[in-house]
Chains A and B, each alone.
Chain A
Amino acid sequence: MYIIGNLSLYLGIGIAFYSIILYVWGLKNKNNKMINSARGGVLSLVLLSSIATFLLLYNLGTSQFQYKYVAAYTSENLPLVYKLTAFWAGNAGSLLLWLFLLCLYTGFLVFSKEKRNPMMPYVSIIMLLNILFFFIVIVISGNPFEMTETIPADGKGLNPMLQHPGMILHPVTLYLGYVGLAVPFSFAIAALILKRMDAEWIKLTRRWTLVAWVFLTLGNIIGGWWAYLELGWGGYWAWDPVENASFLPWLTVSAFLHSVMIQERKGMLKTWNISLVIISYLLTLFGTFLVRSGVLTSVHAFGDGNLGAYFLIFMVFMIVLSLYVVLTRYQLIKKETNPIESYFSKESSFLLNNLILVGGAFAVLWGSMYPLISEALTGTKVNVGPPYFEKVMAPILLGLIVLMGICPLIAWQKATFERFIKSALWPLIAGVISAIILVAIGIKGSFAIVGLASTVFMFASHLKEFYDGIRARRKATKESVAMATCKLLVKNQRRYGGYIVHIGIAVIAIGVISSHAYVKDTLQTVSVGEKVEIGDYQLTFNGLTEHSKNGNGIVVAALETSYKGKSVGTINAEKIFYETWPEPATEVAIKTNWKEDLYVVLSSWESKDKATFQVKVNPFVSWIWFGGMLMVFGTAIALIGGKTTTSRVYKMGIQHKKAGV
């Protein structure tokens, strides 16, 4: 097993190197035989990375403690699912996961229907450079097949915080997003090398970019859900450097997904789009550098060995390569870029949206790096924590929400103000009415009210778009509402899929604003029979009990709960003492309804009859998870539809011409 595992890694280096050489040679000599052989090399890499992956899974699943990685992250009594997910608990395993996904993406690309595209060998070379780097780094600094000197009787076990369904999905989805961004990057570089500055590379990578973006979205949402349920501090986003590292490419790719529409339709923003793709990819490397180097303190960081340095070198290499390719072709991109015709148009509003998204990314990057910058410049480290990010990002994100409400209502090319006001009237009225209602029912906090009203405006402007579309269809075809809605979605998946994503963001925004501005929190010590009162909830402490499960000691605090005077059952807040872990873990008791979460943490106890609880009422948190699902649903719809209206119209025109109409 040891030999096969290591052999697959070392062979991987050789074959990746071989494939790159053959691609370059084949391109230089226009030799298809060599290019086909290099393509075969990619297939071998998929096979080798799969072998390494399955071997590690086997080792973890069968508790082969002779391997350092298995002994460090699993133990005999760990449930099988967590033995397997310990795959990405440490540096070595997560690097292998990254490599495996990278090989899979490359395999799909190289053998896709676009395999004969002249760009594909260049794309493959860029992807192979990534693969080669990961194979080398795994062998040098993170080999999951390294053996222990003496075989331990049992492993150290998995960090209890990672023993949660969220941790089964969060790293995989996030890595699928990170790795996926290498594809549009490779296409952009390939297009630049070939001096093909039309929108072809964008059309070819649209689905790949959307897939990467939706996985980044899912990764971030699931990460927030896990933090909320598992970390016990009652929040879901702590503006931790590593969380920020995954948020940064999400922001820039979101900007790209919008600006790309302008290039597809109008041939504008070519330099900008290429820059966004390159920056997004580099930000994934930067994020990984942060996680692996340990330069910044984070609960998510691995930070051991020289991995950070290797990632830094690779990142610098990719920056230099990108800069060289962009600068040598800059005049070409510039030459072929069309300007925008009107200040007041959808194009301009998309530009503004890009500015806000990229500005937000800059603010997050600046805040994440400032502790390092301040230490380097003044010798004193200055922390930049959640209060800073909340103050800086709140107006930026508010601006984004308002713009998201405006954008769909503005026409392409040249809009008129009168027409816009006519379209925006009802959404604006909805926003204002919602603000009046919030004030009337006694909601405090002007910024939160403005935020919620803006979200209602944004939501209403999207509903109006759906309403107008359905009404127009019904008028023309006399279809039923359900049929018209379905057909509207089917006929223009990209547009309406995007709108559903926006609605998902509106739902998330309501959750985020409410849970930040209107959280109720108390820390109380109670004896058996005593009550904790918070919001509409009343909790009666019924005492502590103790039992063991899988060798772990569990202390359970039972709390009888009533909501608005009606009993809603008993909830159990737990503290788990793991056999293989020094720190106890918290199991939060949560009672959810559509408008709020009752969140209870067993903080400490003096005896079986007296304990301290941290109790929170977090409004609308479940909306965040629901909004995330809506975003995924919307993206799925947008992914199914591939053609823009313009390209369809163009195609129809050709067909008509051919038919002699």
Chain B
Amino acid sequence: MLFVLLLFFLSSPTSVWANFDYNAKEFQEVVNQLDMQGHSNDDLATCKVKQMYYKEVQEMLDEGMTPEEIIEFYVAEYGQSALKEPAKDKSGLIAWSMPIVGVLTGIAVLFYWLKRGKKKVSVDSSVPEIAWESEEDKEITEKIFEEERRKHF
């Protein structure tokens, strides 16, 4: 009787013994980080690659590996491309910092430009306005300036 029971247990598929199903927190923690060769956003029902990864991760968890160890295993196997995002250590520094650098540079340029503009406004307001003899005079002069500008630039 004992022998029959042992035989039944040994022949059962691993899923019967699975401690971690696909809803387990640890399982989700791992699969949410894996790129799965670009298939991580595919429909699990139809994507063979995603199904294979899910099975592998579940088996590794059942074998007693921690989520960190599984991630390390995949990074050792496929490099950083195993994951969905760049590492948060020195190797991924450029990837993470560039958007911040971009926005900060933008802010710096913006403030420089505003400051320069303000200076120009204060200088302009200190210069007395030219008094035109008539509106016609003003228009003609403006037109001449406009033509000259177009010629030269």
Nearest Cβ distance between residue B71 and chain A, in whole angstroms?
13
With contacts A362-B102, A601-B45 taken as known, whether A339 is within 8 angstroms of B116 at the C-beta atoms is yes
Known contacts A359-B106, A382-B86, A383-B84; decide if A575 and B45 are in contact (CB<8 Å).
yes
With A332-B149, A335-B149, A522-B23 as given contacts, are A232 and B80 in contact (CB-CB < 8 Å)? no
In the complex, chain A residues whose CB is within 8 Å of the CB of B150:
195, 332
Is B110 located at the chain interface by the 8 A CB criterion? Answer: yes
Q: How far is the CA of A583 from the CA of B51 in the complex (A)?
A: 14
Q: Which bucket holds chain A's interface residue count? A: 35 or more
Q: How far is the CA of A157 from the CA of B98 in the complex (A)?
A: 44
Q: For chain B residues 10-24, which have a beta carbon within 8 Å of chain A?
A: 21-23
Binds A, one of B33-41, B60-68, B129-137: B33-41
B144 at the interface (CB under 8 A from A): no
A329-352 near B? 1/0 per residue, CB < 8 Å: 111100100011111000010011
Q: Which residues on the B side are within 8 Å of A341 (C-beta)? A: 117-118, 121
| Distance of A342 Cα from B115 Cα, bound (Å) | 9
Secondary structure at chain A's binding surface: helix, strand, loop or mixed? mixed
Total chain B interface residues with beta-carbon distance under 8 A: 41
Is B99 an interface residue, CB under 8 A from the partner?
A: yes
A601 touches B153 (CB 8 A): no
Residue A13 at the chain B interface, CB threshold 8 Å: no
Residues of A within 8 A of B79 (CB): 380-381
Does chain B have a CB within 8 A of A563? no
A238 to B41, CA, bound (A): 7
Question: Once the chains bind, are B149 and A586 in contact (CB under 8 Å)?
Answer: no
- State whether A601 touches B114 (Cβ < 8 A): no
- For B103, give its contact among A351, A359, A374 (CB under 8 Å): A359
Contact A614-B44, Cβ < 8 Å, known A355-B103, A359-B103, A383-B81 = yes
B77 within 8 A of A: no
Taking a contact as CB atoms under 8 Å apart, the answer to whether A232 and B43 are in contact is yes
Closest residue of chain A to B107, judged by CB? A355
Given contacts A359-B103, A366-B102, contact A383 B41 (CB under 8 A): no
The residue on B at minimum CB distance from A585 is: B46
A165 within 8 A of B: no
Residues in B with CB closer than 8 Å to A545 are none
Q: Known interface pairs A341-B118, A348-B114, A355-B106. Does A382 touch B99 (Cβ–Cβ under 8 Å)? A: no
**B residues 41-84 touching A (CB-CB < 8 Å):** 41-46, 79-81, 83-84
Closest to A361 in B: B102
Give chain B residues whose Cβ lies under 8 Å from the Cβ of A339.
Answer: 114, 116-118, 120-121
Q: What are 23 A-B contacts defined by CB distance under 8 Å?
A: A231-B41, A232-B43, A233-B42, A330-B153, A332-B153, A335-B149, A343-B118, A362-B106, A363-B103, A366-B95, A366-B98, A381-B81, A382-B87, A383-B80, A384-B85, A385-B84, A388-B86, A523-B23, A523-B44, A583-B46, A603-B44, A604-B45, A614-B45
A233-B44, A585-B46 known; 9 new pairs, CB 8 Å cut-off, are A240-B41, A297-B38, A340-B117, A380-B81, A381-B81, A382-B87, A382-B92, A586-B46, A601-B44
CB within 8 Å of B: which residues of A?
Answer: 195, 231-233, 235, 238, 240, 297, 299, 328-332, 335, 339-343, 348, 351-352, 355-356, 358-359, 362-363, 366-367, 370-371, 374, 380-388, 391-392, 396, 521-524, 575, 583-586, 601-604, 614
